[in-house]
Amino acid sequence: MSLLPILRFPDPRLKKIAARVEEVDGSICRLARDMAETMYEAPGIGLAATQVDVHKRVIVIDASETRDQLLTLINPEIIEKDGRQVCEEGCLSVPGVYDKVERAEHVVVRYMDLEGREQTVEATGLLSVCLQHEIDHLEGRVFVEHLSQLKQLRIKNKLAKQARITA
């Protein structure tokens, strides 16, 4: 396994829409393992393949307090959603930035597991937010795009300043 570099907002590669995975093979399983290792090391609770510059519909999530409930979703799609909640979100691609985003309270997501079997997961609360956040990445959206234009500009400026300081 290896750690993967995480793209930083506003990198234009984060805007790419991920392609469906046609076959769950060894390369997809390796990608998922590397993504999980990268997510845990970062540390984060979710990571989409888009964030590591692989434009395939794969996400990994572990929203558990014990960090031992890894969920790998291939070709995830929201098939049902209802309610609304506002939660503070952050993102490994937007380090140090947190803001409130409105999302559905409850979602049902259909996906394939690492054996290529179709599954569904029903989620509320943090897991629901995380699923929606990571699926957004597969569609080329970063959570800050749910914020006002002014907030987006401030975030871009803040990240540019951070990049200059660390360069």
Residue 99 lies in a domain: yes
In a domain, 7, yes or no: no
Residue 51 lies in a domain: yes
Inside any domain, residue 1 = no
CATH for 133: 3.90.45.10
Binding residues for Fe cation: 91, 133, 137
For 58, 104, 118, 136, the CA distances from 70, given in Å and listed in that order, are 13, 22, 17, 19
Helix (H) or strand (E) holding 91: strand 85-91
Residues that constitute the known binding site: 91, 133, 137
How many Cβ atoms are within 10 Å of 29's Cβ, its own excluded? 15
In a domain, 5, yes or no: no
Which residues are the active-site residues? 134
End-to-end CA distance of the chain: 28
Domain-located, residue 6: no
The structure tokens listed for 78 are 């929201």
Q: What is the pLDDT along the chain (167 residues), one digit of tens a residue?
A: 689 999 999 899 999 999 999 999 999 999 999 999 999 999 999 999 999 999 999 999 999 999 999 999 999 999 999 999 999 999 999 999 999 999 999 999 999 999 999 999 999 999 999 999 999 999 999 999 999 999 999 998 988 888 788 76
If one counts the domains in the chain, the total is 1
**Would 4 be classed as within a structural domain?**
no
Can you read off the two tokens belonging to residue 148?
Answer: 């006002």
Domain that holds residue 114: 12-166
